[in-house]
Amino acid sequence: MGIKLGWALALALVTVAGAETKKFKILMTEWPPEVIAEFRAAVHEAEIVTPSTRQEWLTEIADADAMYGHLRPELLRAAKKLRWVQATSAGVDGHIAAGIANTDIVLTNARGIASPNIADHAFALLLSLTRCINQVERDRGKENLNRLNYHPIELKGKTAVVVGVGSIGTEVAVRANAFGMRVIGVDPKDIPAQPYLTRLVRPDRLDHVLPEADVVFVAAPLTRETRGMFNRARFQLMKRGAYFIAVSRGPLTDTAALVEALDSKRLAGAGLDVTDPEPLPAGHPLWKFPNAIITPHLAGTSDNAARRRIELMKENMRRFRDGEPLLNVVDKQKGY
């Protein structure tokens, strides 16, 4: 009798637990139909809605439990049940600006998803400058290239200062170390000693290490503290002939100060996947510099990044359904 009662109780508990697995509504954008179908197959309890117009977003978010995409202030105001927002990228400055920091909504980002390809891109920009590939490409129309016109440099033995040693900065530092560079990381977090870092300093020591840099990589998030951090004074601290590579957010750099640093020949070159403003308008002074390589914020794109983003989303949807801690939760007060 006791055994039968035990089995009955166990069955009842399983039934109750199953009953507690409720459907949840999640709004999504930017995915092709076959990926949406993959999400539905992976998490059957998810009611996935893909609004196509602004009004549809405003209507559907009223009773949505979660969303994937770019949160805007009007969406936040219209949301009544929202408990989770998955950002599409590592940077969440737009979500913070929308006001999510003042809510109980959990914000997760895509930290680490695009880090390998962004680091690859950072080095593509740098090597194009240091190996004079940008100059050769500019001159190739002459169909008579003279090697004596170019003066490449090697990276081995040079010093890289990596500003922001998060997932992107770590990948940059690993690559810099592999090139034989001395790598100084700048980050507010306590990071255990790593073989790819020569040393790590706090952001308040940035001005002390900038004069050592042959290359500065900017991989920090955009926050109140980092906005405009690369200003005229900091470019003046950099040694003449240094390179500046920016792959995180454009507003970290004072664009007028960067133009001045290039114009004065203080910088040997700049590689920019992000700018401020973005996109860079026609006629902007940055376009005139042959030693400024500008790409249209495409470092985060690669053949593998999309699949990593899909797998992160599937895992977080499963965790959300099951009440487990989500991956890549953002500290909304810090902004990353």
User: pLDDT tens across 26-56, in order?
Assistant: 999 888 999 999 999 999 999 999 999 999 9
* DSSP 3-state of 177: helix
Averaged pLDDT score across all residues of the chain: 93
Percent of the chain with pLDDT over 90: 93
Asked if the bond preceding 73 is cis, omega within 30° of 0, the reply is no
Q: What is the pLDDT of residue 6?
A: 42
Are 153 and 127 spatial neighbours (Cβ–Cβ below 8 Å)? no
| DSSP letter (8 states) at residue 274 | S
Q: Is the confidence at residue 14, as pLDDT, over 60? A: no
30 Rama sector, left if φ>0, alpha if ψ -120 to 50, beta otherwise:
left
More confident residue, 6 or 276: 276
- Confidence at 20, pLDDT banded by 50, 70, 90: low
Q: What is the pLDDT of residue 22?
A: 74
Structure tokens at 169: 């900065």
Estimate to the nearest angstrom the gap between the alpha carbon of 147 and the chain centroid.
38
Q: Rounded mean pLDDT of 228-243?
A: 98
Catalogue all structural domains in the chain, each as residue range(s) with its CATH number.
10-112+304-322 (3.40.50.720), 115-294 (3.40.50.720)
- Confidence at 112, pLDDT banded by 50, 70, 90: very high
Q: What is the pLDDT of residue 217?
A: 98
Q: Is the confidence at residue 8, as pLDDT, over 60? A: no
Q: Is the confidence at residue 66, as pLDDT, over 70? A: yes
User: pLDDT tens across 144-195, in order?
Assistant: 999 999 999 999 999 999 999 999 999 999 999 999 999 999 999 999 999 9
Q: What is the pLDDT of residue 30?
A: 80
Estimate to the nearest angstrom the gap between the alpha carbon of 218 and the chain centroid.
11
Complete edge-to-edge strand list for the sheet that includes strand 267-272: 199-201, 182-186, 159-163, 215-218, 242-246, 267-272, 292-294
User: pLDDT tens across 284-325, in order?
Assistant: 999 999 999 999 999 999 999 999 999 999 999 999 999 999
Q: Rounded mean pLDDT of 67-89?
A: 97
Q: What is the pLDDT of residue 29?
A: 87
